[in-house]
Amino acid sequence: MTDITPPITFTPERLAKAQEIIARYPAGKQKSALLPLLHLAQEQYGWVSSDIMDYVAGLLSILPIEVYEVASFYTMFHLDPVGKHVIEYCRTGPCCLMGGEDVYGHLKQKLGIDTGETTPDGKFTLKEVECLAACGWGPVFQIREKYYMNLTNSKVDEIIEELSKD
Amino acid sequence: MAVKILTEHINVPGINTFDVYRKMGGYTAVEKALKKMTPEEVVEEVKKSGVRGRGGAGFPMGMKWSFLAKPEGVPRYLVCNADESEPGTFKDHFLMREIPHLLIEGMIVSSFALGANKSFIYVRGELMYVIHILEKAIAEAKAAGFLGKNILGSGYDLELVVQPGGGAYICGEETALLESLEGKRGNPRNKPPFPAVKGLYQSPTVVNNVESIANTPWIVNNGGEAYASLGIGRSTGTKLISASGHINKPGVYEIPLGITVEDFIYADEWCGGIRPGHHLKAVIAGGSSVPILPANLILNLANGEKRLMTYESLSDGGFATGTMLGSGGFIAMDETACVVRNTWTFARFYHHESCGQCSPCREGTGWMDKVLERIEHGKGNMHDIDLLVDVAKKIEGNTICPLGDAAAWPVASAIRHFRDEFEWHVKHPQEATQPGAVYRGAMELV
Ligand SMILES: Cc1cc2nc3c(=O)[nH]c(=O)nc-3n(C[C@H](O)[C@H](O)[C@H](O)COP(=O)(O)O)c2cc1C
Ligand code: SF4
Ligand code: FES
């Protein structure tokens, strides 16, 4: 049997974007592009596998280990496959004062999963995160780049129903 | 109406676009600085303004700028700290989202003052949508000739780069931020050398908070003395306060430094009071790192005078009866809030965010998290309370960066002022672990 996994590579647009990012830094300081490139990779693949990290290392002419140690330090990078929509809800004090624990409890019940789990249909992953700098607009969660703020149980229902459609 | 330095035009429709921002008087500071002033003159005005760093430590900005080393032939960098991850703090998020050009304009005049030709805005990665807003604003400013080569024919070149973080509170600490910006793990550096001498890429670097930098256009336009005439004593100008918790109107407010804490909480102009039917129990005035104070102490000084929203007044009484202005993350709690639970979420936060380089912080934050979890879940004993105080003491002052202190203070202060509540959890575990159960013993509510 032949290996049918397509090789890891950025889409042409992302490759152009990656080159543009690398050019932002002084000569020889291309490693500064590491976090932006990991974000770009996660945007394309949903998570960052070791193959993806190796690819990024190649683009930056650095060692793979330099990418692994960075990707594992920062909480935003998913080092394991995740569901289609990763819901990252803020568990820190101020959001709890704004009613967070009830709303997140409702969210877990609605999806039938706990923190760190993915729904069986692969649509949703729940992740607990720390303060998202939106404390007065809490409770809050983030899905990809979008912030969902001032959450209530019924708002959560609407959001999940909307996202379940696609 | 109080003078608004940062938010005067924030409700003008379209203020996030170059055209509207410009129409409201935007970018005049760039014209004035680049055409009529020398970099030294800009630094001088910022010194005169007395503006203190708004990222938390409150270090005078002009003084920091004057420490910047200027060796021949070595580039200098300005890095804006937009990592904003201190629980309770969401002012920079608000400012960048609503009026991005204010930060861009501030970056241009500040970079000019420091002689930087490439400057960075390091934004926490979670705020990717804000990064897009800033990138659009930069493109607009560049198209209008305010960025790039030979700005306004002055011969001054500047490029702005917006850099995303990856989700790590520690990268708000300035040397961790620089490591991160170099594409590494966010481990704080040992100091000295200070960034002013060896910062980004080992070159002289100034790191300033978003709000600090956003003050500079007004200072250039109106002069440092005009800025210094606002506020009280060494707390000059205005301050953005992000207010959350049990108040009627959570949000971001630009206050003149010097109003009373009472006014800030109860006046309709600001937080609009505590939720109907409830009473103020405690406040964390400057982000999760600063000591929590019970209602009577946050409103009044030990001598009975009203406490003010200034650096000095908030810290009056030291750690015995005072706290700090910090980053301006103002968290209000009414009698339904459990201090033990809130303290535990903070301890868990610091445990999660410790970079792990120093053992007192790495191990100590873990201990405090575990012990507090135990107490909160009705499994603690009396000895645990003293153990927490002991661990906090052992962390304090014994670490590479101030995250260790930041983790110790909230725990130590919560026990100092709310010891009864911790003891209640230990003595009445069944009652304390009922959903929504809160200590209702003797305490002064306002
Ligand atoms: C753990 C830790 C986190 C910090 N986070 C931030 C932050 O998110 N934003 C910020 O401006 N300063 C933060 N600071 C303070 C910075 O180290 C630095 O003092 C500040 O950016 C300097 O800018 P300023 O003088 O304009 O306040 C943090 C400090 C520590 C120790
Ligand atoms: S105090 Fe904590 S966060 Fe700071 S360097 Fe040490 S281990 Fe890292
Ligand atoms: S505590 Fe949830 S966003 Fe800050």
- Please write the tens of the pLDDT for every residue from A27-81: 999 999 999 999 999 999 999 999 999 999 999 999 999 999 999 999 999 999 9
| B60 C-beta closer than 6 A to ligand 1 | no
Token pair for B294: 């019970």
* ipTM exceeding 0.90, yes/no: yes
Q: Which whole number is the average pLDDT over B113-124?
A: 98
- The span from the CA of A56 to the CA of A49, in Å, is 11
pLDDT for the residue numbered B311: 98
Q: Of all atoms in ligand 2, which is nearest to the CA of residue B173? A: 4
Together in a domain, A154 and A118: yes
B442 pLDDT higher than 90: no
Which CATH number do you get for residue A103? 3.40.30.10
- Please write the tens of the pLDDT for every residue from B361-390: 999 999 999 999 999 999 999 999 999 999
Token pair for B222: 């109106």
B428 pLDDT higher than 80: yes
- Please write the tens of the pLDDT for every residue from A136-151: 999 999 999 999 999 9
- Cβ within 8 Å of residue B225, ≥6 positions away: B48, B49
Q: Which whole number is the average pLDDT over A111-120?
A: 97
Q: What does pLDDT average to over chain A?
A: 96
Together in a domain, A99 and A156: yes
The pTM for the full model equals 0.97
Asked if the structure places residue A7 within a domain, the reply is no
Q: Does A75 touch chain B (CB under 8 A)?
A: yes
Cβ(B67)–Cβ(B196) below 8 Å? yes
- Output the CA A99–ligand 1 centroid distance in Å: 28
Nearest to A75 among B75, B89, B168 (CB): B168
pLDDT for the residue numbered B370: 98
Asked if the structure places residue A22 within a domain, the reply is yes
Q: For residue A137, give its domain range.
A: 85-164
Cβ(B342)–Cβ(B362) below 8 Å? no
- Please write the tens of the pLDDT for every residue from B150-202: 999 999 999 999 999 999 999 999 999 999 999 999 999 999 999 999 999 99
- Residue contact A94–B88, C-beta within 8 A: yes
Alpha helix locations (H) across B288-381?
295-299, 311-315, 318-321, 339-353, 359-376
- Residue contact A77–B166, C-beta within 8 A: yes
Asked if the structure places residue A113 within a domain, the reply is yes
Q: How many domains in chain A? A: 2
Together in a domain, A42 and A66: yes
Q: Give all strands (DSSP E) within B246-328, no chain letters.
A: 251-256, 280-284, 292-294
Together in a domain, A63 and A90: no
Which CATH number do you get for residue A47? 1.10.10
Q: Which whole number is the average pLDDT over B103-120?
A: 98
Asked if the structure places residue A78 within a domain, the reply is no
**Going by CA atoms, what residue is nearest to atom 6 of ligand 2?**
B358
Higher pLDDT, B446 or B331: B331
Question: Predicted confidence band at A121 (pLDDT cuts at 50, 70, 90)?
Answer: very high
**Going by CA atoms, what residue is nearest to atom 23 of ligand 1?**
B208
pLDDT for the residue numbered B1: 65
Q: Is B66 exposed, middle or buried (0-12, 13-18, 19+ CB in 10 A)?
A: middle
Last residue of a domain, one of A48, A73, A98: A73
Question: Predicted confidence band at A166 (pLDDT cuts at 50, 70, 90)?
Answer: confident
Asked if the structure places residue A6 within a domain, the reply is no
Token pair for A163: 């996202």
Give the CA distances from residue B24 to residues A137, B21, B93, B299, B428, in Å, rounded to whole numbers and listed in that order.
28, 5, 22, 38, 60
Together in a domain, A90 and A151: yes
Give the CA distances from residue B38 to residues A164, B222, B345, in Å, rounded to whole numbers and listed in that order.
58, 16, 49
pLDDT for the residue numbered B372: 98
pLDDT for the residue numbered A1: 53
B6 pLDDT higher than 60: yes
Last residue of a domain, one of A49, A73, A97: A73
Q: What does pLDDT average to over chain B?
A: 97
pLDDT for the residue numbered B180: 98
Q: Does A36 touch chain B (CB under 8 A)?
A: yes
Asked if the structure places residue A1 within a domain, the reply is no
- Please write the tens of the pLDDT for every residue from B250-302: 999 999 999 999 999 999 999 999 999 999 999 999 999 999 999 999 999 99
Together in a domain, A53 and A121: no
- Residue contact B166–A70, C-beta within 8 A: yes
Together in a domain, A154 and A129: yes
Place of tokens 């594409």: B183
- Output the CA B78–ligand 1 centroid distance in Å: 14
| Chain A CB contacts of B118 below 8 Å | 26
B223 pLDDT higher than 60: yes
A85: left (phi over 0), alpha (psi -120 to 50) or beta: beta
Together in a domain, A55 and A100: no
Asked if the structure places residue A52 within a domain, the reply is yes
State CA B360 to chain mean position distance.
24
Q: Which whole number is the average pLDDT over B48-71?
A: 97
Asked if the structure places residue A80 within a domain, the reply is no
pLDDT for the residue numbered B175: 98
pLDDT for the residue numbered A3: 63
